[in-house]
Chains A and B, each alone.
Chain A
Amino acid sequence: MSVTIAHQTIRIDPRAAWGATKSELARQPRRVRWWLAFLGLLVLFGAYGDIASIAPGDEALGTTPTVEWGILIAAYVFFVVTTSGLCLVSSLGQVFGIEQFRPVARRAVVLALVFLLAGFLVIALDLHYPIRLLFGVVLSPSPFSAMWWMGTLYAVYLAILLLELRGMFTGSERLARAGSTLALGAAIVAPSTLGAVFGVLVARPFWHGSVVPAYFLLTALLSGTALLGIVFFLVNRLELRGHGPATERVVPALGTLLALVLAGTLFLTAWQTIIGLYGGVPGLSEATQALVVGPLALRFWIVRVLLGLLVPLVILVLPRPRTALGVPVASCLAFVGIFADRIGFVEAGQVAPGSAASGVVSHPLAEYAPTLVEVSIVVGALGLVGLLYTLAERFLDLAEPASRDHAERPGRGGATDESRAGATGHAGAKVPAHEGAGVL
């Protein structure tokens, strides 16, 4: 039995598949093989956690009745909100027509798909009965539940991404454009609904309110831009498919966007912190204090604020430190900072327990420490993302059609270049034609 994808026939036969995999791996350059081996190790490490967490008891995870949402939830938020951010940045080029962002489309959407799948993997392992979820949301839906909406919207989002990818890779311009517009809509509605999952809870003053949906939308843009900044730096540096003047122009554009979003995030974070500390609002002030001066403070100030917001912002804004490495370094730091932010956010919302003790030993703040199983699941998901994306880079054509044009003709820039060099350009183009005509 065989199947044809993109004009290539693949035999569905285990031995043939294994043989094909081996020969394909052998053909890769050494650097790539080492990188794939490293990612493979991460995935294997993750497999330990994946298998250990399947049995529906609580022992594998470090969560307790007072802190039931741990790093798996934080990782889920991280993955799916990054997905939305990637589509938001991609839509700047595809939907809003901003030329500098056009080259990101294919890579952004492929990354978005990979991140969304990783998010689903992580959350399915946190749930104790994921199969029941699939039946339950369809057979006994709860339209008043923010989580029901969030799950439904992200499932729809997956379908939209697949549609968009189909349009992009089969050259169907209309489908791709429809997909991009739908993806933009989903990329706005889905992360804000995920924010509402936290925002509707009156029991958790740190999460309650309308800020969280807006904050998730803004930080979606942050993580999406940061990730693309890293990816496109590598596209140019490693001379991956489709690299050229267009992809080189993307990086400073992403840097500018990242700087703006970092400023906005810093602004929101600062005000949330100040207002949280103002007055002794029960629940809110304990949570904010835990984050700012309590057990969560180290990670908050050093990783989330300093490395994740201030340093990248300084790198991107001040002219002196702005070197060729400025954008990727700032992007890396911002990306790590966002991950730390998700963990801090989920923990801070639960540390001031609703009940004074409910039998838990630690008081007045609840404590949570992730187990090895949880850490391995998250690490494995990150490895999986890297692995899938690396394979996509190797075997799929991730160059945007427009940028491929630019790469072939390095002299031709954007529209302005053409109009400015109009006379000479035309003259230059005419001469070979004349010569050709002469020869003919």
Chain B
Amino acid sequence: MSGQDGRHAGAMPVTRRRLLRLGLAILPGLLGAKLLSRWMPGLGEDAALGTSDLPPAGALPPGPQGGPAGHDWAFVCDTTRCVGCGLCVEACKLENHVPLDPEYNRTWVERHVVTDDGSVFIDSPEGGIHGFPARSTAPGATGRAVRQSFFVPRLCMHCENPPCVVVCPVSATYRTEDGVVLVDADRCIGCGYCLVACPYGGRYLVPSGGQTPAGTPGVADKCTWCYHRISRGQSPACVEVCPMGARAFGDLNDPESRVSIALQEQRTQVLRPALGTKPRVYYLGLEAEVE
């Protein structure tokens, strides 16, 4: 008993000094952890920390009202023109260092085959990057009478009401003033919630090994409408290379842009409108069944 008392008497009372010392001791630990989490993506990879698609400040060309807020970007896919060549998929992978594995795509092309009985068969071999084999049809449609067949370019919808933005637990994904949904690769923890939240399958988690968009494996990635290009007055890579003009990108604030004209003169459609996501990628010439 007395031994215990003696020990307690000898122990240091909790003073302000002791508390401060404890706090100072913890601080390097916290900082160390923060540094470690920054270094971890750089281990073995090209240590391009903090690189993102954002251009340096001042590089943004002014819109009609000036600055990024002046722009109101939108995208149009014309399925009556798309021939499924896959050049858009390849251009995107080259421009943005998208992982070369076929299951990781920022954009891809689907072939939709509608048979006489109304069934739909869809395929997308390797995202359509090598086009679609000649004299072939979607698996399951072989031998059936085909009523309609067309190609549907797919990419992130950059929704006005994006379900991926609202679910991120660390606010790593956000929608810019000019309407582009982006991911902060330094903040993303790789939980995959935005992947399961996206109704359009637009996202993937960056694998390690091979080329990666921002040098950071394990984070969420998706189409950015080539933000580094559009902020300099260029168009996204996929729009640029499309030989059929099936993709269009532009500013809805500019009544002369291709997208403004398309929305004014044609009947457009978005994918899965019932979900309330308000996509900013509009489609022309879709059959009602496209999901």
The 6 closest A-B pairs by CB, nearest first: A57-B208, A128-B190, A136-B170, A355-B201, A128-B218, A56-B218
> Is B244 at the interface (CB under 8 A from chain A)?
no
> Is A130 at the interface (CB under 8 A from chain B)?
yes
C-alpha gap A136/B186 in the complex (Å): 10
C-alpha gap A364/B154 in the complex (Å): 17
> Is B26 at the interface (CB under 8 A from chain A)?
no
Asked if A203 and B199 sit within 8 Å, CB to CB, the answer is yes
> Is A200 at the interface (CB under 8 A from chain B)?
yes
Asked if A142 and B163 sit within 8 Å, CB to CB, the answer is no
From A7, which residue of chain B is reached at the shortest CB distance?
B4
Asked if A56 and B208 sit within 8 Å, CB to CB, the answer is yes
> Is A267 at the interface (CB under 8 A from chain B)?
no
> Is B34 at the interface (CB under 8 A from chain A)?
yes
**A357 cross-chain contacts in B, Cβ below 8 A:** 108, 110, 122-124, 127
> Is A376 at the interface (CB under 8 A from chain B)?
no
> Is A390 at the interface (CB under 8 A from chain B)?
no
Interface size bracket, A side: 35 or more
With A58-B205, A357-B110: A203-B169 Cβ-Cβ less than 8 Å: no
Interface size bracket, B side: 35 or more
Contact of A133 among B7, B126, B169 (CB under 8 A): B169
Asked if B199 and A202 sit within 8 Å, CB to CB, the answer is yes
Asked if B208 and A358 sit within 8 Å, CB to CB, the answer is no
Binds A, one of B35-43, B48-56, B63-71, B77-85: B35-43
Asked if A137 and B192 sit within 8 Å, CB to CB, the answer is no
Other contacts beyond A355-B202, A359-B127, A360-B103: 8, CB < 8 A:
A127-B190, A128-B219, A132-B188, A144-B166, A201-B196, A201-B197, A202-B275, A354-B201
> Is A174 at the interface (CB under 8 A from chain B)?
no
**CB under 8 Å from chain A, chain B span 155-177:** 163, 166-172
Interface residues of A (CB under 8 A from B): 4, 55-59, 63-66, 68-69, 126-137, 140-142, 144-148, 151, 197, 200-204, 282, 349-350, 353-361, 363-364
**B198 cross-chain contacts in A, Cβ below 8 A:** 203, 354
Asked if B168 and A145 sit within 8 Å, CB to CB, the answer is yes
**A200 cross-chain contacts in B, Cβ below 8 A:** 167
From B192, which residue of chain A is reached at the shortest CB distance?
A68
CB distance from A217 to the nearest CB of B (A): 21
Asked if B105 and A63 sit within 8 Å, CB to CB, the answer is no
Asked if A129 and B190 sit within 8 Å, CB to CB, the answer is yes
CB distance from A287 to the nearest CB of B (A): 13
